[in-house]
């Protein structure tokens, strides 16, 4: 089964300093048809104005992934981590028993554009932890680059869930097929560009829910950047 999630149908929160699009129900935005897909609960596309950011706030029992698209995002947390994330950087924070953090755009002129992703863990009460890795353009060009997984394989970040997250840059004749094992589903979020997924055309910000299919097929790309989630079945 294939179900498209159009970019212009997402929820939106505009706070002046923050312009955010919500693929799933989040904060004051609630859509009973889009409350998550399996353990994938949040994909927020955030744009933070210069000299602005998220003040210190807390999380518990959640795997939080930040995928930076443009600008420089400073992260500080109660574990003592301080870092500045740029394009190609992927940050994973396991909130576990509880963590506080802040995110800030210190630039005086440039926006920060990033995706904030929340995945529900399959184990509770873990000690909070932090991980950050850089995945260069070449490693994603024309192929799927694993950036988060349950076992940290292939140099990916480690998450507490039976899920795999891939990033890819596709164009022209690029063609990718990812088999889906029985009992698995997939969610494809097109970050930018154009792409066909299992024959369904997507444009920037669109997504596709995939279940009861044998594979995910990506082709007909035009300067596409895409995230693909391999997930426990969400039916």
Locus of tokens 């939080």: 64
- In the chain, how long is the greatest CA-to-CA distance? 50
pLDDT of residue 65: 98
pLDDT at 98: 97
State the pLDDT confidence band at 233, using cuts at 50, 70 and 90: confident
Q: All domains of the chain, ordered by start, with CATH?
A: 2-232 (2.60.120.10)
SS3 145: strand
Kindly state the helix (H) or strand (E) to which residue 82 belongs, with its residue range: strand 82-85
| Mean of the per-residue pLDDT values of the chain | 97
Does the structure show a pLDDT above 90 at 89? Answer: yes
Instruction: Name the helix (H) or strand (E) containing 138.
Output: helix 137-140
Per-residue pLDDT of 207-232, as tens digits, reads 999 999 999 999 999 999 999 999 99
pTM of the entire structure? 0.97
Q: Tell me the average pLDDT across 198-209.
A: 98
A 10 A CB-CB count for 17 gives 14
Tens of pLDDT along 32-85?
Answer: 999 999 999 999 999 999 999 999 999 999 999 999 999 999 999 999 999 999
Residue 162's φ and ψ, nearest 5 degrees, are: -80, 70
**Is residue 121 over pLDDT 90?**
yes
């Amino acid at each position: 089964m294939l179900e498209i999630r159009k970019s212009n149908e997402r929820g939106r929160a505009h706070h002046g300093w923050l312009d955010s699009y919500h693929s799933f129900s989040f904060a004051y935005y609630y859509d009973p048809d889009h409350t998550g897909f399996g353990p994938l609960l949040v994909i927020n596309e955030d744009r933070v104005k210069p000299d602005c950011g998220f003040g210190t706030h807390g999380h518990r029992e959640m795997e939080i992934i930040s995928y930076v698209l443009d600008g420089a995002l400073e992260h500080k947390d109660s574990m003592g981590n301080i870092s500045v994330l740029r394009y190609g950087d992927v940050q994973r924070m396991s909130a576990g028993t509880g963590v506080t953090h802040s995110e800030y755009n210190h630039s005086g002129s440039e926006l920060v554009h990033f995706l904030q992703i929340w995945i529900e863990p399959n184990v509770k009460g873990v000690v909070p932890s932090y991980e950050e890795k850089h995945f260069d353009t070449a490693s994603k060009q024309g192929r799927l680059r694993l950036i988060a997984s349950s076992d940290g394989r292939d140099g990916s970040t480690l998450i507490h869930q039976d899920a795999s997250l891939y990033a890819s840059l596709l164009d022209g004749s690029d063609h990718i097929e990812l088999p889906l094992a029985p009992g698995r589903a997939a969610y494809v979020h097109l970050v930018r560009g154009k792409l066909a997924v299992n024959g369904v055309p997507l444009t920037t910000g669109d997504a596709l829910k995939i279940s009861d299919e044998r594979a995910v097929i990506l082709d007909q790309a035009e300067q596409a950047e895409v995230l693909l989630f391999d997930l426990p079945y969400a039916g």
